[in-house]
Amino acid sequence: MSIPPTNLSYPNIAKGANNWQGLIETYRSYLPVSKATPVVTLLEGNTPLIPVPGIAAKIGRGVKVYVKYDGLNPTGSFKDRGMTMAISKAKEEGAKAVICASTGNTSAAAAAYARRADMKAFVVIPDGYVALGKLAQALLYGAEVIAINGNFDDALDIVRQLSENYPVTLVNSVNPYRLQGQKTAAFEVVDVLGDAPDWLCIPVGNAGNISAYWMGFTEYHQAGKCARLPKMMGFQAAGAAPLVSGEPVKNPDTLATAIRIGNPANWHKAIAVREASGGEFNPVTDTEILDAYRLLASEEGVFCEPASAASVAGLLKVKEQVPDNATVVCVLTGNGLKDPDCAVKHSQNQLKQGIPNDLEKVAKVMGF
């Protein structure tokens, strides 16, 4: 179903409200766009950098910790940053359809932005390994979702071949425009802090986001917008940690589905980031991820998806390495509502059921 043509002119209500017009308009001078580029936007970006004093207190020594909560993008993840660019450029080049492999968030973003651009979206996912919230998004946005018997790496191989042999544009992070859009998160961090942080902690799956952040920091540094560059600390799930072990993982395994990737497409870029920034890649177990996931929600009021919590889990794991008085930013890549089943299953807060509809009995359950 196509979006019907309209002659209506919409006022720029976003500009009137907070002057935010989406990533491309805000950072146009840093992006490969021209006046001829049809900007496809859902007003993504401008996500909050939230202080997390409870987590900072676990480190001490004057360390300040913030989380960059990209789960507040329009489709609930950082993927919207790259997708506004990838879809805008695909439309500029005349594409009628796009395709991606996905563990969930890419499929949601690709489907939403393709719909906005009046383009068809095809999504290839590993059957049974996509969180329900993400699958629901792709389906409702109207994408054609194809589940294969295989993992993400198998799905990526197939969509790469399809894009080379059929009239569909690949919008995974191997598409260079994706990283161009994602680098804007680094711009936003600097714009808020006034400089780059000392450390940037980030979950690593396909390794596009760590590469994009570094691109953003270095471009801002070259432009004189920040005085320093951060140490880039990448964290992978222990069961899917090829950048830690130095070799692909044939059967990656972790409950953090968004980073369940055994052979990152941006492997070489990520290694270059580690070397240039003096950073590290470290593993975090599913137990450590869940601990950080619950900690963020119960102590800081921030509900992220499990993979996002890998950044905080990693920071706490290597906290002795953090310099005194450092400023640390942990990237939270997706919203907790992406994977509600995980939240219910792993919450340590019990649902009290079967209580009679009686004032005294309810009060008693409440502890009164």
Q: Is the pLDDT of residue 21 over 70?
A: yes
Q: pLDDT value at position 11?
A: 54
Mean pLDDT of 32-36: 97
Q: pLDDT value at position 141?
A: 96
Beta strands at 169-170 and 64-69: parallel, antiparallel or unpaired: unpaired
Using only C-alpha atoms, the chain has a radius of gyration, in whole angstroms, of: 21
Q: Is the pLDDT of residue 17 over 70?
A: no
Residue 155 burial by Cβ neighbours in a 10 Å radius (0-12, 13-18, 19+): buried
**116 is written with which tokens?**
């906005």
Q: Is the pLDDT of residue 175 over 80?
A: yes
Distance CA 76, CA 276 (A): 30
**225 is written with which tokens?**
């917008």
Q: Is the pLDDT of residue 262 over 50?
A: yes
Q: pLDDT value at position 240?
A: 97
Distance CA 260, CA 239 (A): 8
Distance CA 232, CA 272 (A): 11
The angle at the Cα of 338, spanning 135 to 350, to the nearest 5 degrees, equals 125
Q: Is the pLDDT of residue 268 over 70?
A: yes
Helix or strand run (H / E) with residue 68: strand 64-69
Q: pLDDT value at position 173?
A: 87
Question: 5: pLDDT confidence band, cut at 50, 70 and 90?
Answer: very low
Q: Is the pLDDT of residue 9 over 90?
A: no
Q: Is the pLDDT of residue 314 over 50?
A: yes
Return mean pLDDT, the chain.
94
Q: pLDDT value at position 144?
A: 95
Q: Is the pLDDT of residue 2 over 80?
A: no
Q: pLDDT value at position 101?
A: 92
Q: Is the pLDDT of residue 22 over 60?
A: yes
pTM: 0.92
Q: pLDDT tens across 272-302, in order? A: 999 999 999 999 999 999 999 999 999 999 9
- Non-local (6+) Cβ contacts of 180 within 8 A are 31, 32, 82, 85, 212, 215
Mean pLDDT of 324-336: 98
Q: Is the pLDDT of residue 258 over 50?
A: yes
Stronger pLDDT, 107 or 130, i.e. the higher one: 107
Q: Is the pLDDT of residue 38 over 50?
A: yes
Stronger pLDDT, 4 or 273, i.e. the higher one: 273
Q: Is the pLDDT of residue 10 over 80?
A: no
Return the amino acid letter for 318: V
Q: pLDDT tens across 210-238, in order? A: 999 999 999 999 999 999 999 999 999 99
Instruction: Please tell me the chain's helix, strand, coil percentages from 3-state DSSP, rounded to the nearest 5.
Output: 45, 15, 40
Q: pLDDT value at position 130?
A: 81
Q: Is the pLDDT of residue 6 over 80?
A: no
Q: Is the pLDDT of residue 16 over 50?
A: no
Q: Is the pLDDT of residue 82 over 50?
A: yes
